[in-house]
Amino acid sequence: MPELAALQDSLGVSFRDPRLLRQALVHGSYVNEHAEEDSAGNERLEFLGDALLDFVVAEELYRCLPESNEGDLTALRANLVCGPTLARVAASLNLGEYLLLGRGEEAGGGRSRLSNLASALEAVLGAVLLDQGYDVARRAILNIMGPDIQTVVADGVQKDPKSLLQELVQTQGGPPPVYQVVRSAGPEHRPAFEVEVHVGDVVVGRGAGPRKADAEREAAGDALRRLQQRD
């Protein structure tokens, strides 16, 4: 595990208790294989960070978009606080390098797994909240997610891939797209889903993600790219 100073610099936070930051990086598979350390995993911190992210992003969107209604604000928040976006932000912090993983998870590519990265980011932010308080945690979130928030604010509400796919299929006279989970893996608190989207009997797209909604969105995007290339 690399020294945590670089990660703290990226976050703009100097932890009073570095043990909290370390705990935020402990995957459940590591706990299972190192019972002698009496180490807790990052699930509780992930829960806290998830709630914190929802609130901070909602507050920032509310402030930046005074004319937007509740439905639009909800849609914009969902575009920001979702598995793919959080995993990308985590990757920009090189968070995968810091994860403490079990041997099997390590061998299976756990350091780059989207669900692990997204969960670790939430856990790290939960750790910042406990160690530094709300104001510092809010600044950290706006520091690492500021460009994404600014992009969403500038672009406004855009239709999600599932809506766009349904409209495209309708214009072509086809039946509504149907999403099917073809594989789910991982423990209950850290699932990974693979989804196919069908139009009639044809598989038109595939996607994967830490949530079914994320996997369906990826599958719809894949289908749009394929159908547009075909046209």
* 147: its two tokens: 């460009």
The range of the structural domain enclosing residue 166 comes to 161-230
How confident is the model over 63-89, as pLDDT tens digits? 999 988 887 888 788 888 888 889 999
* 103: its two tokens: 């041997």
Per-block mean pLDDT, blocks of 10 residues, the chain (231 long): 82 93 89 72 94 96 90 84 89 92 86 89 97 96 93 76 84 89 81 92 92 90 81 51
Contact 95, 7 (CB under 8 A): yes
**Is the pTM value of this prediction over 0.75?**
no
What is the predicted pLDDT for the residue at 57? 96
Contact 23, 45 (CB under 8 A): yes
Q: What's the rounded Cα separation, in Å, for the pair 94 and 109?
A: 15
Tell me which residue of 223, 229, 87, 86 sits closest to 163, measured CA to CA.
223
Q: Are residues 92 and 194 in the same domain?
A: no
HSE-CB for 82 with a 13 A CA cutoff:
22
CATH number for the domain that contains residue 192: 3.30.160.20
Q: Are residues 141 and 188 in the same domain?
A: no
Picking from 98, 129, 155, the residue at the C-terminal end of a domain is 155
What is the set of active-site residues?
50, 122
